[in-house]
Structure formats: structure tokens, C-alpha cells
Structure 1
Amino acid sequence: MSWELTRRRFSRAVNSKFILDRIPLLHAVIFFIEMAIMARLMSRFNAYYDERPVLTMMVTNAVLGGIADTVAQTITSVRERALRKPGGITKNDSMAIEIHELDRKNPWSDRELIPDSKDLPPPFDFERLTRFMAYGFVMAPLQYKWFSFLSRAFPITKTSAFAPAMKRVILDQLIFAPFGIACFFTTMTLAEGGGRREVAQKLRDMYIPTLKANYMVWPAVQVINFRLMPVQFQLPFVSTVGIAWTAYLSLTNASEDVEQKAAPHSSNIRLQ
């Protein structure tokens, strides 16, 4: 029991540190570690890809997924920190990004170990980070095979570039995008301990709005990707651009979790 108390005290102490009283220190440290790992991967990407292309994609995708979720958790922490300040969020507080109340999955217990710890935002969720990294790791082979298939089915040549690229984009957005979004919400819900009912609820609430958001972003990204990027850089390019998209999915997924736990008559606002 003493070890658990020590661990919880340490966790609260670490999560109570902020840079400029706004940005959580632990989130920033994790982010810079992830960026350092990504910089190392990118510096030797071609060598790693030549030796083990699929494994290289899997590791790269996992790290980028971790970066995306760290960004999402940081946004949530900044928002929660601002909400707890006297007076709440003001129009002049540029760091207090207007994201609706999210990610209350780890509220402090009534038996506090640090005075006024309820003034702190939720701690960094390492389990959530692990889920996102694992999802990116596992999905990479499927994405790699998909991009390879598109490259073979619609080859781009010096005399024919635009038409094959557009065919790739259309096929990708009609087939893989709907599948990928459904796969994401299903996998994350199951990983969080949900069952068939929770999966159906998540898809019913979040699938269509997320698919609409996808069609506002990804067709243009994929035109650039398929038109200009060599095959070995297509998945890293998508994953890099996808940091913001995955952060959006992370926030959306967490938002739905909050709404499902809220009172039936409470007023909830979903990301659209």
C-alpha cells in the first residue's frame, strides 16, 4: 500500500508542474522524447526501409500516433487548466483553446493525497498513449499493403500522372477511409474495455461526423501524396499530416467517452 501511495504522490507532483503556468511539463517532456525518436528514425529512414520496410513503417506509424495523442492530451490539459483558474477562460487567453469539456476519465478521488489537487487537470494518460501507439503499429502493414496495391493498380508515369493519382484518391476515399474510421472507433472502444453495445453506440454517434470531417481534409492531402510522394514516403507523409487528424480522433473518441458517462439530462456538446 505504501508503494501505491508513493506512486500516486509522485504522479500528482509531476502532473502539477507547468511551463509558464499553462503547458503541462510532463506532456512537454513526453512530446520532445517522441520528437527525438522521430528525428532519429527520419535521419536513417531510407536505410531502415531498405532492410525492413514493413517494420520501419510500423515503428514510424506508432511514434507518430503517440505524438498525435500527446498533442491531444496537451490540448485537453491546457483547456482543463484554464477552466480551473479563477474567472475561467477569457477571450484574451490564447492558450485556452475552445475545446469542449473532454477527457475526464481519470478524476481525482475524494481522498486526496495532495491539497487542492482537484485544481489540477487530468494526469497524463499513459494507457491511452499506449493504445494509440499500438493501433498505429498494427495498422501500418495494412496501410502499407493498400498503398502498394494502389501504386501497382494505377502506375504514375511521366506521360500519365494526374489521372492515375486521382483514381488512387477516389478509390482510397471510397474504400479505405470509411473502413479505417470504423476500424479506429471499434478498436479503441474494445481496447478501452467496451463491448458490442459500446461499439455500436460509438459508431452511431461518431462515424458520420468523422467521415464528413475526413472528406474535408484527406482528398486534398492524398492528391499531393499520390501525385508527388515516392511509395516509401507515402505512409510516413500521411502519418505526419495525420498527426493533427489523429489528435482530432483522439479528442473525439475521448469526448464521446465523457458524454456516455454524463447524466442523461445533461447538456452535452460534441465535436462536429
Structure 2
Amino acid sequence: MAWELTRRRIVRAVNSKFIFDRIPLLHAVIFFIEMVIVARLVSRFNAYYDERPVLTMMVTNAVLGGIADTVAQTITSVRERALRKPGGVTKDDTVAIEIHELDRKNSWSDRDLIPESKDLPPPFDFERLTRFMAYGFGMAPLQYKWFSFLSRAFPITKTSAFGPAMKRVAFDQLIFAPFGIGCFFTVMTVAEGGGRRAVAHKLRDMYIPTLKANFMVWPAVQIINFRLMPVQFQLPFVSTIGIAWTAYLSLTNASEDVEPKTAPYSPNIRLQ
């Protein structure tokens, strides 16, 4: 009991520290650690890939997924802190306004944006970070096999490049993307303790909008990926581009998580 109280006091003290009175210190520390790991992976990627390609992809995917969620949680924390200042978001606070514009599901009502503090998630949700990293870690072998299959089925040569690349994009977006979105909703819901009803709610309300958003962003990314990237860099490239995409979707999810307790569920969204 004494250790638990001490731990809570330390966590609360760390969570109350901000850099330049804006960026949460704990989020910044976690982001720095993740970037150090990424730097290590980048410097030794080819060697790691030659020795253990699948494991290298799994670790890389997990770390990049963790960075995406850390960025999303940081954005949410910055926004909520700005809204708690006297007067809320002002016209001079351009950072807070831009962050707020990313979250279009919320209104400008203080009651909607700032529910009671007991209803808010912790300043940094380590469980959510773990879920994102675990999902990236677990999905990497399947994505690796999928990219390997596409490279074998539609080989790119010096005389034939554009056609096979477009076929890879078509197969990826029409087969793997719909499957990946549904898989993410299912896995994340179960990891959060939800059952079949919760999964059905998420698929009903979030699947089609997310799939439409996917088709607006990822075909162009995958054209570059399949046309220019060697097979060993295709999954890291997708995961790196996906940092901004996943951060945006995670931010959208965070806005749902702070809704009143009468809400039937809290969707999680992540893609690719």
C-alpha cells in the first residue's frame, strides 16, 4: 500500500511538469526514448534484417506504432491544457487552435470539450501505448508476408515497372486494407475488454468512414512504396508514413474516450 501511494505521487508529480508550460514532460521523455530506439534500429537495420527479417519488422512496427500513439497523446494533452487556461483557447493561441481543428468531432462548448476531471484519461495512458505497440508487433509478420507475396506476384523490372506497381496498389487497397481495418477494430476492442456487441458497434459506425479515409490517403503512399522502395523497406516506410495518420486517428479516438459515461462505446481507430 505504501509503495502504491508513493508510485502515484511520483506519477502525479511527473505528469504535472510541462516544458515551456505547454509540452508535457512525461510525454517528451517517452518520445525521446522511442526516438533513441529508432535511431539504433536505423543504424543497424540492414544487419538486423539480414539476420532476422521478420523479428526486425515486428520490433520496427511496434516502435513506430508507439511513436504514433505518443504523438497523439501529446496533442491531446496540449489541447486539454490550453482549454483549461482562463478563457480557454484564444485567437492568439495558434498551436491550440490548430490542434483543436484536428479534432472536428468536438464542439467549442467547454462542457463538451472539458468533462469532469474524473472522466478524463490519465495524462499519459501507458495501457493504450502498450496496445498500439502490441498490435503493430503482432501484425508485422502478416504485413511482411503480404508485401513479399505482392513482390513475387507482380515483379517490377526495368522494362515493366508502372503496371506491376499499380497492380500491387490495387490488390493492397482492395484486399488487405479492408481486412486490416476490420482486424484492428476487432483486436483493439477485445484488448480493451469489449465483446462481440462492442465490436459490432465499432464496425457499424467506424468501418466505412475509416475505409473511405484510407482510400483518400494510402493509394498515393503505396504507389511510392511499391514503385521505389526495396521490399525490406516497404513495411518500415508504411509504418513511418503511418505515424501522422495513426496519430490523427488516435486523436479522434481520444475525443471519443472523454465523452460522458452514458456513451455506449469508445471507438479506437488505426489503419495499415
Q: Structure 1 residue 245 and structure 2 residue 245: aligned?
A: yes
The unaligned stretches of length 5 or more in structure 1 are 110-117, 265-270
Q: Structure 1 residue 212 and structure 2 residue 240: aligned?
A: no
Q: How much is the aligned-residue C-alpha RMSD, in angstroms?
A: 2.5
SS in 2 for 1:11: helix
Alpha-carbon distance change, 58 to 158 in structure 1, aligned in 2, over 3 angstroms? same
Deviation, 1:137, is 0.2
User: Who is 1:49 aligned against?
Assistant: 49
Cα distance between partner residues in 1 of 2:116 and 2:159: 56
Deviation, 1:248, is 2.3
- Contact kept in structure 2, 1:181 and 1:211, CA below 8 Å: yes
The unaligned stretches of length 5 or more in structure 2 are 107-111
User: Who is 2:159 aligned against?
Assistant: 159
Alpha-carbon distance change, 106 to 249 in structure 1, aligned in 2, over 3 angstroms? farther
1:190-269 equivalences in 2 (<5 Å): 190-259=190-259, 261-262=261-262
User: Who is 1:69 aligned against?
Assistant: 69
1:135-154 equivalences in 2 (<5 Å): 135-154=135-154
> Which deviates more from structure 2 when the two are superposed, residues 45-54 or residues 194-203?
194-203
Cα distance between partner residues in 1 of 2:205 and 2:62: 27
User: Who is 2:109 aligned against?
Assistant: none
Cα distance between partner residues in 2 of 1:168 and 1:106: 48
Alpha-carbon distance change, 92 to 50 in structure 1, aligned in 2, over 3 angstroms? same
Amino acid at match of 1:17: K
SS in 2 for 1:123: coil
Cα distance between partner residues in 2 of 1:171 and 1:16: 48
1:70-85 equivalences in 2 (<5 Å): 70-85=70-85
Count of residue pairs brought into register by the alignment: 257
Alpha-carbon distance change, 209 to 260 in structure 1, aligned in 2, over 3 angstroms? farther
Deviation, 1:92, is 1.7
User: Who is 1:175 aligned against?
Assistant: 175
SS in 1 for 2:179: helix
Cα distance between partner residues in 2 of 1:258 and 1:175: 33
Cα distance between partner residues in 1 of 2:43 and 2:185: 33
Amino acid at match of 2:218: W
- Contact kept in structure 2, 1:57 and 1:141, CA below 8 Å: yes
Cα distance between partner residues in 1 of 2:263 and 2:235: 41
> Which deviates more from structure 2 when the two are superposed, residues 201-210 or residues 58-67?
201-210
User: Who is 1:114 aligned against?
Assistant: none
Amino acid at match of 2:165: A
Deviation, 1:212, is 1.1
User: Who is 2:36 aligned against?
Assistant: 36
Alpha-carbon distance change, 197 to 255 in structure 1, aligned in 2, over 3 angstroms? farther
TM-score, with structure 2 as normaliser: 0.88
Cα distance between partner residues in 2 of 1:64 and 1:105: 31
Deviation, 1:58, is 0.2
Amino acid at match of 2:147: F
Deviation, 1:164, is 0.2
Deviation, 1:104, is 8.9
- Contact kept in structure 1, 2:69 and 2:250, CA below 8 Å: yes
State the identity %: 85
Cα distance between partner residues in 1 of 2:151 and 2:116: 44
Cα distance between partner residues in 2 of 1:43 and 1:107: 43
Alpha-carbon distance change, 236 to 155 in structure 1, aligned in 2, over 3 angstroms? same
Cα distance between partner residues in 1 of 2:173 and 2:145: 16
Cα distance between partner residues in 2 of 1:106 and 1:47: 51
